[in-house]
Structure 1
Amino acid sequence: MNTQTELISILLVDDQPQFRQGVRTLLNFYNISSSVKFNIVGEAANVEQAIKLSMEQHPKLILLDLELPPENGITVLQHLKKSSYTGKSLILSAYQQDEYVYRAMQAGAWGYILKDKLATQLCEGIMTIVNNKVYLPTEIATVFFRLFQYYSGTSLTCNSKIDLTKQEQEILNWLVQGEPNEQIAKRLYITVATVKAHLTNIFRKLGVTSRTQAIVQALKSGLVCP
């Protein structure tokens, strides 16, 4: 009986070379033990590379980390959602917090896997998504739908305990919507350097060190109402 091997093109996006190597090793193992073959068509370590390679290679699937310099994986998802890219994205993340999962799925991801579950869930996740189904393991589905129901059924009261200036609040609002620095600058008629300076102050006031953490904190504290 003649069977045709299915080839799935993959773009691997993570800022840690060691982690990318681990994923490559795992996919090579799947290639040996499965009739489905995975072909890594590119690797990216930051937002700009991820977007560029997505448009050039048009992979069937992007394996995407959320913590990417200089912004985050949400920025990549938002860009792809507005572009001609027709593939799908699977998040590989170290974060299980409700807001991380919710934001990623809201931005267009087709699945979400915790990095410490990769060995047991990656192959199933990929196959589920390429068959046009959303992949959310039980522990992730629980946190996603908990927050989905919360946002759908209640209104958050905005928190004024954290002292943000009017412009910092505006920038935080656009940040939560996934806008990159350049677009925020255009919307507010300020320079990119000014946006970055405000973000530094916002991160300090929120007690965070990255855009994704700032989004999570803003949603948790009610500084930005969904």
Structure 2
Amino acid sequence: MTDAISVLVVDDHAEFRQGLRTLLGFYTDEAASFEVVAEANSAEQAIEMLEAHNPKIALLDMDLGEGTGLDVLQRLKTLGLETRVLSLSAHCEDEWIFQAMQAGAKGYVAKDKLATQLYDALRTVLQDEIYLDPQLTSRFFRLFHSSTSIRPVPIEGTKIRLTDREREVLYWLVQGASNENIAKELYITVATVKAHLTAVFEKLKVRSRTQAIVKALKLGLVEAD
């Protein structure tokens, strides 16, 4: 087995921290394992633990009793550490997501989705990629585009040749729709949706739904409503 990946858990509820420890324990296999090297219940304590342990990953609650996750993210920028922060929150409002990602978080997971998304989120950020639920991705980039002067690059996007159906599937993907919902909207089977997505991923040269959404918005192939 490879060396354990060090993790700092930051949350102001002891029961939730223990739940994360338990969940991380389920992810141990021949490829990787996770070791909680420290815990913190406030922004100040989190910063102390970051400096003391320099963990590979920090699971950071955004709404702490003392201080906020944003305080930790902003301080982390000045410490020169390579800790990758995965933000955890009960808040899924656009502004919360936007602020966390702008402050340097490598991913954002809603607390009610931890059981199904945490492992994928961890593996994604460990590969130096950004993790966002597809539904959150669309909302984040919609707010990002509306708050900056950055615009899509349609000229580059014209080099990517999508069929009309692939473009329709991509449109609904950007809106955060599941495969099942896309199938209902377009009156096709889920298997057909998956086939179109496979083709879209190949043409966009991406490996995940999140990457496809980001690239589609960046190139102006579709817009988030």
TM-score, with structure 2 as normaliser: 0.64
Alignment of 1:84-163 (within 5 A): 84-152=80-148
Of 18, 25, 28, the match for 1:28: 25
Partner of 2:51: 55
CA drift of 1:34 comes to 5.3
**Distance (whole Å) between structure 2 residues aligned to residue 100 and residue 61 of structure 1:** 20
For residues 37-81 of structure 1, give each alpha carbon's deviation from its aligned partner in whole angstroms, at most 9, with x where no partner exists.
Answer: 000000000011100000000000100001113221000000001
Instruction: Tell me if the contact between 2:44 and 2:67 (Cα under 8 Å) persists in the aligned partners.
Output: no
Matched, 1:7 2:4: yes
TM-score by length of 1: 0.64
Question: 1 CA distance for matches of 2:132 and 2:3?
Answer: 23
Name the Cα RMSD after superposition. 1.4
Q: 1:85 and 1:35 mapped to 2: Cα distance?
A: 25
SS at match of 1:23: helix
Alignment of 1:41-52 (within 5 A): 41-52=37-48
Count residues in correspondence: 150
2:94 alignment partner AA: D
Q: How many angstroms apart in 2 are the aligned matches of 1:82 and 1:49?
A: 16
> Which runs of 5 or more structure 2 residues have no equivalent in the other structure?
151-225
The residue type paired with residue 80 of structure 1 is: L
- Runs of 4+ in structure 1 off by over 3 angstroms are none
1:6–1:35 CA contact under 8 A, matched in 2: no
